[in-house]
Amino acid sequence: MSKKTLFDKVWDAHVVSSIKNGPQILYIDKHLIHEVTSPQAFNELEDRGIPIFRPDQIVATADHNTPTINQDQPIEDALSRNQLAQLSENCKKNNITLYELGHQYNGIVHVMAPELGVTQPGYTMVCGDSHTSTHGAFGSIAFGIGTSQVAQVFASQCLLLTKPKSLRVTVNGKLKKGVLPKDVILYIISKLGTNSGTGYFCEYAGNVFEEMSMEGRMTVCNMSIEMGARGGMIAPDETTFNYVKGRKFAPKGEDFAKKVAYWKTLPTDDGAQFDKEYHFEAEDIEPMVTYGTNPGMGIKISEKIPKDENPSFKKSLAYMNFEAGESLINKPINYVFIGSCTNSRIEDFRVAADFIKGKKKANNVTAWLVPGSKQVEAQIIEEGLKTVFDEAGFELRQPGCSACLAMNDDKIPQGEYCVSTSNRNFEGRQGQGSRTILASPLVAAATAVEGKIIDITKHLN
């Protein structure tokens, strides 16, 4: 029998048929939707008189365009209010499960779906959002799609796709103190660049990922898209099974045991071939920050900004108001954002609270903590982390995408720097003219306390 990768096994099990010299019809198990990329797809089907084929395989949430304060009150902005109303109406009309604003299961789509056990190993999952790659942490094939494809999945529970190539990134060794999963993925992207993964699905392998929690694995897979890959995957193991077990939509009893037996067959066979392989040593990784306007422009916090004569590189530095050769240490920072589908899970807030405990936020800093879901929010309160944050002067807001894309009112002002745990540092991403520095929740927390970027590695020893 030929040797197969995790990706091959899951993909091949979902091929309905192949078009000669063309794409394949791939069956989709779970379709997640939200308010921003679904309305035009619903309209399209309605205009063409096509019914939704499998409404019970769709789960909806409102997250991108929701306020993070006063969620119990009507939304002020008329366009946003309308977008949410449309989602509710579309879901109701089509019998789709929706966890709307304020529901106990509401949250960022890539945080709430795994929490509810919607995400499971061996599945194919899609959503009209590029960070759908997050769900690959469970050993599923999960990727973002455009609105036309949302309409295709509505109509047929399938997509027409050409099988991507496979790529494996292996990281072995022992991570240093203070190096979090976010640093691992920022490091990988800084080494490989933002389009090294285009056309590929990426598997993360090695003991670093094997020893990571599910939350950490989700952070890593989340950012696969930032190196161009459609998705990332990590082989399911006991950590995965334990996480899924007992969740709302997880299989129960004997069904669960049967599933686990199947899930155990999924990891990549020894000797299976990848189209491309990269290896890194865990010991080389340090806490990371970005200095430019794409996630590949990252350095170790103790390093200096490199020199490069490329005009796009220079344009990027000019936008950030940084100079080549400069260090980011001691840069004054007025905004800190801990949130987004990359780092808004309970573990992220535990790391932040652990550092913040007994300290105070610097006076110059506005620090927003935005949980990924209502469940995370509840857990923050239950574990007493909220008290830590309140006492330190941090603002715990209500769940949603928030300042990650600044579609709602959570915007970073023109020209200001924000140390952010999100995944994109594009020009204006967090508000027109805003300047984003991507980092881990630990670096973000430390920045908020100090009012400037510090070399966190020195503070941990």
Quick one: which segment of 158-166, 171-179, 342-350, 452-460 binds another protein (CB under 8 A)?
Answer: 158-166
Torsion of the alpha carbons at 407, 413, 416 and 417, rounded to the nearest 10: -20
Secondary structure (DSSP) of 3-67? ---HHHHHHHTTEEEE-TTS-EEEE-SEEEE-TTTSHHHHHHHHHHTPPPS-GGGEEEE--TT--
Neighbours of 377 (CB within 10 A): 24
Q: Is 256 in the site for another protein (CB under 8 A)?
A: no
Q: Is 221 in the site for another protein (CB under 8 A)?
A: no
Contact call for residues 236 and 205 (beta carbons, < 8 A): no
Considering only residues 256 through 315, tell me which ones interact with ligand SF4, judged by CB under 6 A: none
Q: Is 94 in the site for another protein (CB under 8 A)?
A: no
What does the alpha-carbon distance between residue 449 and residue 359 come to, in Å, rounded to a whole number? 7
Which SS3 state, helix, strand or coil, does residue 308 take?
coil
Q: Is 404 in the site for ligand SF4 (CB under 6 A)?
A: yes
Q: Is 35 in the site for ligand SF4 (CB under 6 A)?
A: no
The residue written with tokens 């009507």 in the block is 74
**Partner touching 144 among ligand SF4, another protein, none, CB below 5 to 8 Å by kind:** another protein
Q: Could you give the string, one character per residue 417-446, with x where binding to another protein holds by CB under 8 A and - elsewhere?
A: -------x-xxxx--xx-------------
First to last CA, the chain: 51
Q: Is 262 in the site for another protein (CB under 8 A)?
A: yes
* 30-33/58-61 β-pairing: parallel
Which own/partner pairs from 252-259 qualify as long-range (CB within 8 Å, at least 24 positions apart)? Answer: 259/120, 259/121
- Token readout for 369 is 């903590």
| Minimal distance, residue 281 CB to another protein, in Å | 28
| Minimal distance, residue 130 CB to ligand SF4, in Å | 7
Considering only residues 70 through 129, tell me which ones interact with ligand SF4, judged by CB under 6 A: 108, 110, 129
Q: Is 340 in the site for ligand SF4 (CB under 6 A)?
A: yes
Q: Counting every residue, how long is the chain?
A: 461
Contact call for residues 48 and 160 (beta carbons, < 8 A): no
Q: Is 91 in the site for another protein (CB under 8 A)?
A: no
The nearer residue to ligand SF4, 108 or 158, going by C-beta atoms, is: 108
What does the alpha-carbon distance between residue 438 and residue 425 come to, in Å, rounded to a whole number? 7
Q: Is 152 in the site for another protein (CB under 8 A)?
A: yes
Q: Is 46 in the site for another protein (CB under 8 A)?
A: no
What does the alpha-carbon distance between residue 90 and residue 155 come to, in Å, rounded to a whole number? 14
What does the alpha-carbon distance between residue 116 and residue 24 come to, in Å, rounded to a whole number? 30
Considering only residues 366 through 405, tell me which ones interact with another protein, judged by CB under 8 A: 405
Q: Can you give the binding site for ligand SF4, defined by CB under 6 A?
A: 63-64, 108, 110, 129, 131, 340-341, 401, 404-405, 422-423
Q: Can you give the binding site for another protein, defined by CB under 8 A?
A: 13, 16-17, 19, 21-23, 25, 27, 36-37, 39-40, 43-44, 48, 50, 53, 64-65, 77, 79-80, 82-83, 86, 122, 128-130, 144-149, 151-152, 155-160, 162, 194-195, 198-199, 228, 230, 262, 294, 310, 312, 315, 405-407, 414, 424, 426-429, 432-433
